[in-house]
Amino acid sequence: MAGNNSKKMSLNKKQNLIGWFFLAPGVIFIACLSFYPAIKALITSFKTGVGVNMTWTGLSNYIRIFEDKIFIQSIRNCFFYLIIQVPIMLILALILASILNNPRLKFRGIYRTAIFLPCATSLVAYAIIFRTLFANDGYVNLVLVKLGILDSAYNFLTHPFSAKIVIIIALIWRWTGYNMVFYLAGLQNIEYSIYEAAKIDGASPFQIFRKITVPLLKPIILMTAIMSTNGTLQLFDESVNLTKGGPANASVTMSHYIFKKAFEGVTNFGYTSAMSFVIFIMVAILAIIQMKAGDKRD
C-alpha cells in the first residue's frame, strides 16, 4: 500500500511539474510585461521630475488630480460615454443575437459576418471614416440637407455635445458585433426546443426574450458589461483620431489626456502614473459593483 501511495505521489508531482513547465513562460512574460511595469508605475506615481532626477513627493500627484479641471472633464466625458453607449450597445447586441440565432432565418451567416466585420477594422481607419462621414462636406450632412432635416451643413465635430454623440455612434457601430458574438455563443448552448415550447404556450417574442433569453444569458451579459465598462473608461483612439479631444477638450478621454501630459510638451511621468492608477481604481470598483449586482446566488 505504501509503495502504491508513493507511486501516486510521484506521479502527481510529475504532473504538477509538467503543468508548471508549460505555464512558466506565460507567467514570466506576464510578470515582466504587466506586473513589474505596474509596480514601477505605482512607485513613480509618488514622485515628480524626469529620469534619474525624480524625487519623492508623496501624495502630491494624487492631490493635483482633484485640482486638474481638464482631467475632471475627461472623467465626466468617459462616464457620459459609458452611461449612454454601453447599455445601447449591449441591448442591441442581445437583440441581434436573438434574431440571428433563429435556425429558420435565411442567410444568417452572411448577416452575422456583416455585423461582426466592423470589429475587424483598424481603430485608426474606422475613426477616420467617421470623421469623414460627419465632416461639413461629409455624407451625413449631404443626406440630412437633401432630406430637408437641416437647412445647411452642421459641423458635428466642432460642437461639444454633437462631438460626443459622434464618438458614441462610432463605438456602437464598431463594438456591437463583438458583443453579439458572445451572446450567440451563449444562445448555441440553449436548446431551441425551449423557445418552440414557449411559442406553443402562447408567449410573445418580447416575453420569450425577457423570460428565457435574458435570464439564461445573465453570466455572459455580466461579462460583456464588465469588459465594455473597462474598455470605455480606457477609450483612446476615438478621442485622438475622431475628435482630437475637441472642441476645447469637450470630448477628451482620460487615456488621451494622460498621453498628452506624458508625451506632449513638458513630460511628467509621476503625474501621469497617478492618473493611470485613478483609472485602474475606477475600473476595479465598477467591476466589483457589477459582479455584486449581477451575482444573485445565496
Instruction: Tell the burial category of 107 from Cβ atoms under 10 Å away from its Cβ (0-12, 13-18, 19+).
Output: exposed
Residue 48's DSSP bridge partners are 55
Map residue 47 onto helix, strand or coil: strand
pLDDT of residue 88: 95
pLDDT of residue 297: 52
**Residue 184: how many other CB atoms lie within 10 Å:** 20
Fold assignment, 67-294: MetI-like fold (1.10.3720)
| Local mean pLDDT, 10-residue blocks, the chain (298 residues) | 56 82 88 87 86 81 91 94 94 92 85 90 88 91 91 90 94 94 89 83 84 87 91 91 89 93 82 91 87 66
Q: Which residue in 162, 163, 165, 137 sits closest to 152, CA to CA?
A: 137
Please state the separation of Cα 215 from the chain's center in Å: 23
Q: Which helix (H) or strand (E) holds 163?
A: helix 160-187
Instruction: Please tell me the pTM assigned to this model.
Output: 0.85
**Residue 242: how many other CB atoms lie within 10 Å:** 23
Q: What residue ranges of the chain are covered by domains with CATH 1.10.3720.10?
A: 67-294
